[in-house]
Amino acid sequence: MKKFRKKLVAGNWKMNKTVADAQKLADGIKDALADCREVDVVLCPPFTALKAVGEVIDATSIKLGAQNMHWEASGAYTGEISGSMLRDLYCHYVILGHSERRSYFGETNDVVNRKVKAALGAKLIPIVCVGETLQERDAGRMQEVVESQLVHSLADLGERLGEIIVAYEPVWAIGTGRTASPEQAQDMHAFIREAVGKLGGVETASKMRLLYGGSMKPDNAVALLAQPDIDGGLIGGAALETRAFVEIVRAAIPKREPGLPAGTVE
């Protein structure tokens, strides 16, 4: 017997949903998943809807997450949000280093590293994103690129490395309708776990939850989530529709053999 890593499914709503729309979506998800305890569920609405969504999911097992944050605790950073501000809204998680932040806003691995440290300091759980572009994959550089992102984005964390969640996003599969095959996704997740082991030890790597973030949908979720090193999903487009998101969460519920106690697998 061995303990399994509890699956986690996070919905990244990106720049979508007014406050009213966000409340409606959160309500639907809450009602559908009222009895779900086998999977950790996180909703990451835009900053403007954090308070409203937090009120909807209050007193449930669903947690609130943000899509970004600044590395400073306060100061003259117009338009930015600090970790303490997110905690004040009862956020538990924050997405950092998303490929759209890296490509559209020029975030470097060093910037992501500073944000990771600030998030941990604010008692937030970072979901740190890594992934290669189509050009990098076609050039056979996908492992080189992802390992560099991991090494520099997660640098100098010491024992706190074990508090991180890593999301693998093949950039070529985000918003394109293309998806890595379960085998391709598993290969990269296994490589990431090995790379984390070099950074913080095999035990830390074995406990770390790794999410797949490349166009996971209800029709491919079961196959992806069945892979041994995929511990959940960072969901984009499918997170904006109640039924699709709920189906993905239900696909993540572990299947136990009769007679096995909760928390164990063969």
- Looking at the domain assignment, is residue 260 inside a domain? no
Cα separation, 40 vs 61, whole angstroms:
8
Q: If you average pLDDT over residues 66-84, what whole number do you get?
A: 98
What are the CA-CA distances from residue 156 to residues 2, 61, 118, 199, 245 (Å)? 30, 32, 13, 9, 35
Q: Which of 120, 126, 15 is nearest to 73 (CA)?
A: 120
**Phi–psi pair at 36, nearest 5 degrees:** -85, 115
Residue 61 binned pLDDT confidence (cut-offs 50, 70, 90)? very high
Confidence bin at 180 (pLDDT 50/70/90): confident
> Is 201 inside a domain boundary?
yes
264 domain-assigned: no
CATH number, domain of 97, equals 3.20.20.70
Res. 3: pLDDT tops 70: no
| Predicted local confidence at residue 151, as pLDDT | 98
Nearest-CA neighbor of 79 among 70, 88, 71, 87? 70
Helices (H), 33-104: 50-57, 83-88, 99-104
Phi, psi (deg, nearest 5) at residue 165 = -110, 135
Cβ neighbours for 120, distance < 8 A, ≥ 6 positions apart: 126, 157, 160, 163
Position 244 scores a pLDDT of: 98
In a domain, 75, yes or no: no
Q: Which token pair is 158?
A: 């010491």
Distance CA 126, CA 80 (A): 17
- Using pLDDT thresholds of 50, 70 and 90, give the confidence band for residue 199: very high
Residue 241 resides in a domain: yes
Q: Provide the domain count of the chain.
A: 1
Residues spanned by the domain of 211: 2-68+82-253
Whole-model pTM above 0.75?
A: yes
Give domain status of residue 74, yes or no.
Answer: no
Q: What is the pLDDT of residue 34?
A: 82
Residues classed as catalytic: 98, 169
Give the pLDDT confidence of 207-245 residue by residue, as tens digits: 999 999 988 999 999 999 999 999 999 999 999 999 999
- The reported pLDDT for the residue numbered 257 is 55
Q: What is the pLDDT of residue 240?
A: 98
Would the pLDDT of 1 be above 50?
A: no
Give residue 177's pLDDT.
65
| Mean residue pLDDT across the chain | 93
What are the two backbone dihedrals, phi and then psi, of residue 59, each rounded to the nearest 5 degrees?
70, 15
Q: Report, as an integer, the average pLDDT of 41-48.
A: 98
Tell me if 48 is assigned to some domain: yes
Give pLDDT tens digits for 13-42.
999 999 999 999 999 999 999 889 999 999
Residue 38 lies in a domain: yes
